[in-house]
Structure 1
C-alpha cells in the first residue's frame, strides 16, 4: 500500500495554529435591570468577571425620569488546557429603566454598528496585523419572567437586534415560575417571535453526525432558554457541592437540566457552537453591514456625479442633491440635558447683564462725583487767583 501523501495532517497543523493564536469572543447581555445579567456572566465562566454594583448606587442612579443607556465593556483572558480566549463582555445597564423608553435602544444598536464600521475601516488599512475586533458574536437578551407575554419594548429591540447580531433570547430567573407556567411562557414567546418575524440564532443541523444533529435539535427546542444564575456553591448532599440557590422548600441547581436550561445555553455558547457564532457574525452580519454601507456610499457618489444634468435643449440643469438622513446619536436624556444647559446659560447671561448694568451705573455715578469735585476745585482755584490779584494791587 503506497504511503499517504500527507494532506490529512492539515487539521493537526490548523489546530496548532489556532491553539497558539487563541481566539476572540464577544458576548453582549441586554435587558432590563435586575434580571441577573451580572450573576449569569460570573456563573457562566465560573469566575468573578464583572463585580456587582452597589445597590444604593444602582437605586440612586435611576431616580431621573429619563436615564441614558450606558455601554460597559469588561475584558478578560481565560485559559483552559493551554488554550487562551480573549473574552469581551458588553453590558447595557440602564436599558428599559426610563419612564419613556422611546429610542432607548439607540445606543445599543449604534454600538453594534460602530464595531462593524470600525472593523471595516481597519480592513481597508495598509497594515492589518493589529486589528481590534469588538464585533458582537452573540447577544443574550434577558426577558423578565412575567409568565404572560413579551413587552412591546422587548419586541422592538429584538427586531432591531436580530438583523445585526446572533440573537439568543433568555428567560431570566426561571425559578420564579412553575414548570407549567414556564412551558406556557416559552410557547407564547415562540409564537410572538414567529409572528413578528424575529430572526433568532439557530444552531446548524449536521446531518452526517447524528449525535451532533440530535444535540442541535434539543437546543432549538429549548429556546428561549430558561436560566438560573448563582455564584455560590451549596451542599446538595453530604460531600457534594453544586452552584445553586437554597429555598425553604428545596434546592435549585444551576447545572441540573430538570431545573433550568443553563447547561444547554453554556454548551451553545462555549462548547459546540462558538465557532459557528463567530463565523456567522463575520460571514452574515458583517457582510450584510459591509454591503449595505458600501452600496450606500456608492449611491451617494453617483448622486454627486449626476448632480448636474443636461436637458434636451442642451441646458445644464442642477439636480437637487439627495441628503442622507443623519444618524441619531442621542436619546431623550440628551434633550433634557440640553434644555438644562440652555436654561443655565440663559440664567448666567442674565446675571452677567445685570452685573454689567450695575457696574455701568457705578461708573456713571463715580464719573459724576469726580466731575463735581473737579468743578469745586476749579472754583476754589479761581477764587485763589482773584485773591492773589487783589493782594498784588494792594502792594502797589
Structure 2
C-alpha cells in the first residue's frame, strides 16, 4: 500500500475491476451520452444497473432528492413540461460528477471472533487491506484505502470489531458498535455546521455484514440482540461464515432456519431501503443470509486452473464458484449492483437523524431555562426567554442557530451518554445496590437499636433492683440508727438514776 492523499491506497488488483464494473460501465455510458450519443444506445449489463439509472436523483436547493419525491413547498406549484429545456441531461451530469468525485463507502464487519472477518475483507478486495498477523486489542478498528477503478475510484473504509463477544459479560457488547455508528452520524452533523467544510471526515457506516457461526442449528442470543440493535441504524446483511463446514443440505436448512428466526425476531434486513425495494433490489431479500468461504491463497482446481480457494483431501473449493458459496454474489451485491443504493439510503437516514438532533437541541435549550442542566449567561437566558418561540420552531428561522450554538457537541455527547442504555442500566444497578446496602445497613441499625433498647431495659431493671435494695438498706440503717438511739437513751437514764441513789445515801 502506498499513501495517497493522507490515506492508505491500494493498487487495483487484476480481479477487482469486476467488482465495480457495473458502476464504471455506467460512467462510460454517461460520458458517451454527454458527447452526443443517445443514452438508450447503451444497454447495461444487468437489470439492476438499469434500475440504478432509473433511480437517478436530482438536486434541490443543493441537496439530493429522488426524482419522484415532491418538493416541500410545491403544493400550489404547477407541473410543467420540461421537454426541450434540457433537464433530461441532469442524471447524466450527476453520473459524471460521481465519476469525477468517486464514491465514499464505509463497510462494517461484525460478529464474534474466529469467524474469518479479516480473511474475508482481504479476499473481498483481493488485497492485504488488513494485516492478519496483527491482533488489535481495541473494540473498534478502522482501516482506510483508496481503490482505483476504471475512470473512477472508491474511497473505502472498513470497520472491524475484533474481540467481539469475548467478554465474560456480553450483555452490552453490542453497545460499542451502536455507539460508533451513532457517534459518526452525530459527528458529521456538527462538521456540517462548521464554516470550513473542505476537511470534513465522513465515516458514516453504509452497510454492516454480520457474521454468524456455521453451527447448523439456531443463532446465539448475543447475535440476535446485536442484529436487532444494528438493524435500525445501518443496512444490515447477515452472512454465514465458513460455510464449507456444512453440507449442502445442512446449509440449505440452516439458511431457512435463520430466515425464520430473523422474521420472528423482527430484524430488518437493509432497513433503509424501505420504499426503494423493487425487482432490482429484491435479490438481497431473497438471497440472505449469504453463505461465504474466504481464502487469500490460490489453489489448482480439477481443471488445473489457478483459483482462489481452499485445498482439502477430497478436493478444492473455489470461493468464487457460486456452486460452493455466495461469495461472488455478495461481492456483486455490495459493489456492482447496490453500492449507490446503500450510500443513498444511508444519506436519507442521516437527514432524518439530523432533523431529530436539531429538534432535540432546541428542546434541550428550552429545558435549560427550568432545569438549569446547562450553565447559561444572562444574555443567553434573555435570548431564550424573549426571542425564541419554542411552540413553533419554524418561525424562529435563523434564530435557531443561536440555540444550536448554545447546545454544542459537548452537551449533546453528554446527553447521548445519559441516554446510553448501558449507562442507564448501570445507573439503575448502582441505585439497586445502593438501596440494598442502605436497607441492609438500616436493618443492622434497627437490630442495634433493638438490642440497645433491650440492654437499656435490662439496665433499668437492674437499676430498679439496686434502688430497691438501696431503699431496703436505708430502712435497715434507719432501724439500726433508731435502735442505737434508743439504746443510748436507756443507758443514759440508768446512769442518771444510779447517780441520784448514790447522792441520797451519802446524805
TM-score, length of structure 2 as denominator length: 0.55
SS in 1 for 2:270: coil
Distance, in Å, in 2 between the alignment partners of 1:250 and 1:141 is: 29
SS in 2 for 1:326: helix
Post-superposition offset of 1:158: 0.6
Distance, in Å, in 2 between the alignment partners of 1:205 and 1:173 is: 33
Distance, in Å, in 2 between the alignment partners of 1:306 and 1:98 is: 42
CA contact (8 A) 2:236 2:268 kept: yes
Change (3 A) 1:116 1:204: closer
CA contact (8 A) 2:269 2:285 kept: no
Post-superposition offset of 1:305: 3.2
Select the structure that is richer in helix. 2
Distance, in Å, in 2 between the alignment partners of 1:168 and 1:16 is: 29
Q: What is the aligned counterpart of 2:156 among 77, 87, 90? A: 87
1:220 aligns with 2:289: no
- RMSD of the alignment, in Å? 2.8
1:250 aligns with 2:319: no
CA contact (8 A) 1:236 1:251 kept: yes
Distance, in Å, in 1 between the alignment partners of 2:118 and 2:262 is: 25
Change (3 A) 1:15 1:293: closer
SS in 2 for 1:82: coil
Q: What is the aligned counterpart of 2:122 among 38, 42, 67? A: 42
CA contact (8 A) 1:30 1:142 kept: yes
- Deviation track 1:212-248 (CA, whole Å, cap 9, x = no partner) reads 93x6444322101111101112121445222111111
| Stretches of structure 2 lacking an aligned partner (at least 5 in a row) | 1-82, 373-413, 424-507
Structure 1 stretches of 4+ with a deviation exceeding 3 A read 3-12, 202-207, 215-219, 305-308, 327-331
Change (3 A) 1:252 1:280: same
Post-superposition offset of 1:267: 1.3
1:10 aligns with 2:90: yes
Post-superposition offset of 1:277: 0.4
1:20 aligns with 2:100: yes
SS in 2 for 1:97: coil
Post-superposition offset of 1:101: 1.0
Post-superposition offset of 1:180: 1.1
Q: Give the structure 1 partner of residue 362 of structure 2.
A: 298
Q: What is the aligned counterpart of 1:51 among 127, 131, 144? A: 131
Instruction: Give aligned pairs, total.
Output: 299
Q: Counterparts of 1:281-360 in structure 2 under 5 Å?
A: 281-284=346-349, 286-306=350-370, 326-328=418-420
1:186 aligns with 2:222: no
- For the pair shown, the structure with the greater C-alpha radius of gyration is 2
Q: Give the structure 1 partner of residue 200 of structure 2.
A: 131
1:140 aligns with 2:209: yes
Q: Give the structure 2 partner of residue 99 of structure 1.
A: 168
Q: Give the structure 2 partner of residue 267 of structure 1.
A: 332
- Deviation track 1:141-164 (CA, whole Å, cap 9, x = no partner) reads 100111111111001111110111
Change (3 A) 1:288 1:7: closer
Post-superposition offset of 1:294: 2.7
Task: Between the two structures, name the one with larger relative contact order (CA 8 Å, sep ≥ 6).
Answer: 1
Distance, in Å, in 2 between the alignment partners of 1:223 and 1:175 is: 17
Q: What is the aligned counterpart of 2:222 among 146, 149, 153? A: 153
Distance, in Å, in 2 between the alignment partners of 1:73 and 1:197 is: 29
Q: What is the aligned counterpart of 1:114 among 178, 183, 194? A: 183
CA contact (8 A) 1:142 1:170 kept: yes
Distance, in Å, in 2 between the alignment partners of 1:245 and 1:204 is: 38
Post-superposition offset of 1:259: 0.7
